[in-house]
Amino acid sequence: MSLDRLAPAVFVLLWSTGWVVAKYASLHSEPFTFLSIRYALSAAAFLALCLVVRARWPSRSTALRAFYSGFFLHGFYLAGLWWAIANGVPAGISGIIAALQPLLTAMAAPFFIGERLQQAQKLGLALGFIGIAIAISPKLLDPATAYLTHAALPLAINLVAMASVTYGTLYQKKHLQSGDLRTIATLQYIGALILTLPLSLIFEHQHFDGAAQAYGALAWSVFGLSMGGVGLLLYLIRRGQVSRAASLIYLMPPAVALEAFIAFGEPLTLPLIVGTVVVVTGVYLTNRKAFSEHRPAEV
């Protein structure tokens, strides 16, 4: 099976574990501190890989673009998301906000990179969002989500974080279509670190308790998510439409729920099952290749 066919499924599997990692990490470290350690180690791991394989480094202008894209694609996105959840945004509401990303990407893509969707793809994106809403509807009806006035600022930050990763994805597609993805990823994590490290030093006490679970969460964050998941995301962006790559985000909440059922015995509700079916249908429509579409050229 080619990487083009296997990459989306592996990406969803890896990326969905990020919510589990975030839960464990929050018990053992402050968010900006954890992310700073993660980005520093991720940059070091990618740098080591680049040196071993003698990867070609980009020009100065491309390097600056990689720093810039990493600031939004990794740094501001996760920093804003983790901070918002830690400061009162319920998981159900955050899930709906995250599910807005594919729709926002599809709407912005024609203006930023001239990418237009077919009617079936537009329908797929809409179905994906509807499916997410159905799947997490029990959480949205929870009384705890009825009073969100105390979380106005975290909600705003969560929305800005979602817009940030959307912008970073589009910028990646427009300006970083050439060059070695390994060197670009190295520079992007340095760009993310430029944001999170000052936030940690200014607003936190650099707490990291060093428990086994903390190191386990950190190791998986670096090698499973930053190197595996993000590496595949960059590959998918380069190989196809950004709207298709973004639509895979719709599969995350159902995947996380299934993982929680297997690992922790959390129940699979009827809305979750129905919503997952709708989501999968939507992602299929969004990613289905039209007969007239040409295969992307090798880079």
What band does 46 get if pLDDT is binned at 50, 70 and 90?
very high
**286 vs 35, higher pLDDT:** 35
**Chain centroid to CA 239:** 17
**46 vs 273, higher pLDDT:** 46
Q: Give the per-residue SS3 of 226-283.
A: HHHHHHHHHHHHHHCCHHHHHHHHHHHHHHHHHHHHHHHCCCCCHHHHHHHHHHHHHH
Sign for the pseudo-dihedral over CA of 285, 288, 293, 298: positive
Contact assessment for residue 222 and residue 1, using Cβ atoms and an 8 Å cutoff: no
**68 vs 242, higher pLDDT:** 68
Contact assessment for residue 40 and residue 262, using Cβ atoms and an 8 Å cutoff: no
* 42 burial level (CB within 10 Å; 0-12, 13-18, 19+): buried
- Cα 266 to Cα 293: distance, rounded to the nearest angstrom: 42
77-91, 111-125, 180-194: which has the minimum mean pLDDT? 111-125
**What does the buried/exposed string (b/e) look like for 94-105 if buried means 16 or more CB atoms within 10 Å of the residue's CB?**
bbbbbbbbbbbb
Q: What is the dihedral of CA 95, 99, 101, 106, to 10 degrees?
A: 180
**Chain centroid to CA 74:** 8
Mean pLDDT along residues 194-216: 93
Amino acid present at 143: P
Q: What is the pLDDT of residue 173?
A: 81
Structure tokens at 133: 């809403």
**156 vs 128, higher pLDDT:** 156
Q: What is the pLDDT of residue 293?
A: 39
What band does 291 get if pLDDT is binned at 50, 70 and 90?
very low
What band does 51 get if pLDDT is binned at 50, 70 and 90?
very high
Q: What is the pLDDT of residue 294?
A: 35
Q: What is the dihedral of CA 160, 9, 109, 124, to 10 degrees?
A: -100
What band does 297 get if pLDDT is binned at 50, 70 and 90?
very low
**198 vs 27, higher pLDDT:** 198
Task: Give per-residue pLDDT as tens, 154-194.
Answer: 878 888 888 898 898 888 888 888 888 899 999 999 999 99
What residues contact 85, with CB distance under 8 A and at least 6 apart? 22, 26, 91, 94, 154, 158
Contact assessment for residue 255 and residue 132, using Cβ atoms and an 8 Å cutoff: no
Q: What is the pLDDT of residue 290?
A: 40
Which one of 138-142, 239-243, 255-259 scores highest in mean pLDDT?
Answer: 255-259
- Cα 144 to Cα 148: distance, rounded to the nearest angstrom: 8
- Cα 141 to Cα 193: distance, rounded to the nearest angstrom: 37
Residue 289 has pLDDT above 60, yes or no: no
Q: What is the pLDDT of residue 197?
A: 96
DSSP string for 11-64: HHHHHHHHHHHHHHHHTTB-HHHHHHHHHHHHHHHHHHHHHHHTPPPPPHHHHH
- Counting residues of the chain whose pLDDT is more than 70, the rounded percentage is 76
Which one of 29-38, 173-182, 248-257 scores highest in mean pLDDT?
Answer: 29-38
Q: What is the pLDDT of residue 270?
A: 81
